[in-house]
Amino acid sequence: VASHCQVGCGAAYQLDGKQGCEWTAACRYAEAGRVVAIRTSKLRSYTTSVVTPIPKCPHHVLVGAEVVCGHGKGWTGTLGLETACVLFKGNTLKARVTKNKEWAVAYIAKLADNWTAAVTVDKNLRPGVLLTHA
Q: pTM of this prediction?
A: 0.80
Single out the residue of 101, 61, 94 nearest to residue 78, CA to CA. 101
Which pLDDT score is estimated for 57? 85
Q: What mean pLDDT comes out for the span 23-28? A: 96
Q: How confident is the model at residue 1 (pLDDT cuts 50, 70, 90)?
A: low
**37 neighbors 28 (Cβ within 8 angstroms):** yes
44 has pLDDT over 70:
yes
Which pLDDT score is estimated for 112? 93
Which pLDDT score is estimated for 41? 93
Q: How confident is the model at residue 92 (pLDDT cuts 50, 70, 90)?
A: very high
Q: What letters, b where the CB count within 10 A reaches 16 and e where it falls short, cover 66-98?
A: bebebeeeeeeebebebbbbeeeeebbebebbe
